[in-house]
Amino acid sequence: MVKHHETKFGEFMNSDTRIQKRCEWCSNLFIAQKLTTRYCSHACNSKAYKAKKREEAIKRFDEEAGKQYKMTGISYATIQEIERISNTYENIKDKEYLSVSETAFLLSVGRTTIYRYLHDGTLAAFQTNGKTFIRKIDIDAMFDNSEEYRARPQKERKPVTEFYTIEEIKEKFNVKESWIFRIAKENNVPKTLVRGKSYFSKKHFDRYFEKKGFENIHLIEEWYSVKDIQDKYSLSLPAIYSFVSENNIPRKKDGRNVLYSKKHFDEAKEYVKPEYYTVEEAMKKYNLTRDSLYHHLKYHNIPKEKEGRYIKISKPELDKLFAISITL
């Protein structure tokens, strides 16, 4: 009687211990007889085994190839790229009709260039169902019908006939000798040596100093330092640098300091009477934080505009807001 119950209990356990699993090769569900079963059939098991062996063989080949490429000094990635290009060429060399991508590969240009050729009629193509096909004979015809290449005429450079000595540059523009050589190198100023003495193109140096506001410096007698300008016009450093740059104010170096022509600065100030504040000027004038200033501008709708890196705030409107009469 006990034996009979044991048999039935064993059969019951055998029926319930079947496990539903997913085949690791074909991903189909199946009933596994064992916990270690990984595949639904002998066919899937065989395919997975062959794939594993194939991957191992490829890995061994890559490792051996990598060693050989390392010995030759060519990277494995470079060899792979060469093989990719070679395979692509093999695939298209016998085709009569090419896609845009294949044409771009054949001509070693980008797809955009090919589309430009198609758009301007340089290269013929056939379109159907949203696809573009280009015949190889049309590619050859594009070169057969091309115009003869004409080199662009080179501009004749005028010979440099006038030169400065180093002493003349130092005296005229009040700069150091080391600074002269640095500027000449950075700006490709023509230079010649005569008996070991350096001569620099007068035209090129004059043009450089003119752009920088150093023109006729030797005729200027009165100069402002940055502090002088701040004291007189209550301008911040950024405002000063912006103003002298915009108005091309002549300047010169005095040791580590930069001086600006008093006459030119005053004339520019008279001509361009400031009708605005920079943010720094407004903060300093009314003892405001940046957040507080922006709050007033937004809340009272004070006009402002952006010029380069700087914000210009309407001077009359801001003065009116704080009821202060300011005379420049």
Confidence of residue 83 (pLDDT cuts 50, 70, 90): confident
Of 116, 144, 172, at which residue does a domain stop?
144
Task: Give the whole-number percent of the chain exceeding pLDDT 70.
Answer: 84
Band of the pLDDT at 183, cuts 50, 70, 90? Answer: confident
Q: Strand 197-201 and strand 163-165: pairing?
A: antiparallel
Tell me the two tokens of residue 194: 């005569």
Residue 299 domain flag: yes
The answer to whether residue 287 is domain-embedded is yes
Alpha helices in the chain (DSSP H): 2-16, 42-72, 76-92, 100-107, 111-119, 136-144, 166-173, 177-186, 202-211, 226-233, 237-246, 262-271, 279-286, 290-299, 315-322
β-strands 197-201, 191-194 pairing = antiparallel
Compute the average pLDDT of residues 265-283. 75
* H-run or E-run covering 22: strand 19-22
Domain boundary among 152, 184, 211: 211
202-213 pLDDT, tens per residue?
Answer: 888 888 877 765
Q: Are residues 313 and 278 in the same domain?
A: yes
Instruction: Take residue 60 and report the two structure tokens written for it.
Output: 């061994």
Q: Are residues 207 and 228 in the same domain?
A: no
Q: 228 and 301 share a domain?
A: yes
CATH number of the domain to which 110 belongs: 1.10.10
How open is the CA angle 149-150-156, to the nearest 5 degrees? 155
pLDDT band at 278 (very low <50, low <70, confident <90, very high): confident
Statement to judge: residues 241 and 297 lie in one domain: yes
Based on the number of CB atoms within 10 Å of its own CB, is 266 exposed (0-12), middle (13-18) or buried (19 or more)? middle
Q: What is the mean pLDDT of residues 150-161?
A: 75
246 and 194 share one domain: no
Report pLDDT digits (tens) over 47-56.
999 888 888 8
Q: Report the distance separating Cα 77 and Cα 74, nearest Å.
A: 8
What DSSP state is assigned to residue 217? G
* pLDDT in the model for residue 68: 59
**Do residues 230 and 316 both lie within one domain?**
yes
Please report which confidence band the pLDDT of residue 274 belongs to, taking 50, 70 and 90 as the band edges: low
Separation CA 51–CA 59 (nearest Å): 12
Residue 87 lies in a domain: no
Q: Say if 126 falls within a structural domain.
A: yes
Residue 54 lies in a domain: no
Distance of CA 223 to the CA centre of its chain: 41
- d(Cα 92, Cα 102) in Å, to the nearest integer? 7
Would you say residue 8 has pLDDT above 70? no
Residue 203 resides in a domain: yes
Query: What is the rounded distance in angstroms from the CA atom of residue 99 to the CA atom of residue 187?
Result: 48
Q: Which residues share a beta bridge with 179?
A: none
Q: Is the residue at 187 inside a domain?
A: yes
**What is the residue range of 167's domain?**
163-211
**Is the same domain home to 248 and 302?**
yes
Average pLDDT over residues 166-176: 78
- Number of domains the chain is built from: 3
Alpha helices in 23-135, H assignment, sequence order: 42-72, 76-92, 100-107, 111-119
Only one residue has tokens 């030797």, namely: 218
What angle separates helix 279-286 from helix 315-322, to the nearest 10 degrees?
A: 20
Which pLDDT score, from 0 to 100, does residue 74 have?
62
Q: Are 227 and 304 in the same domain?
A: yes
Q: Does 234 share its domain with 203?
A: no
Q: Are residues 115 and 178 in the same domain?
A: no
Q: Does 158 map to a domain?
A: no
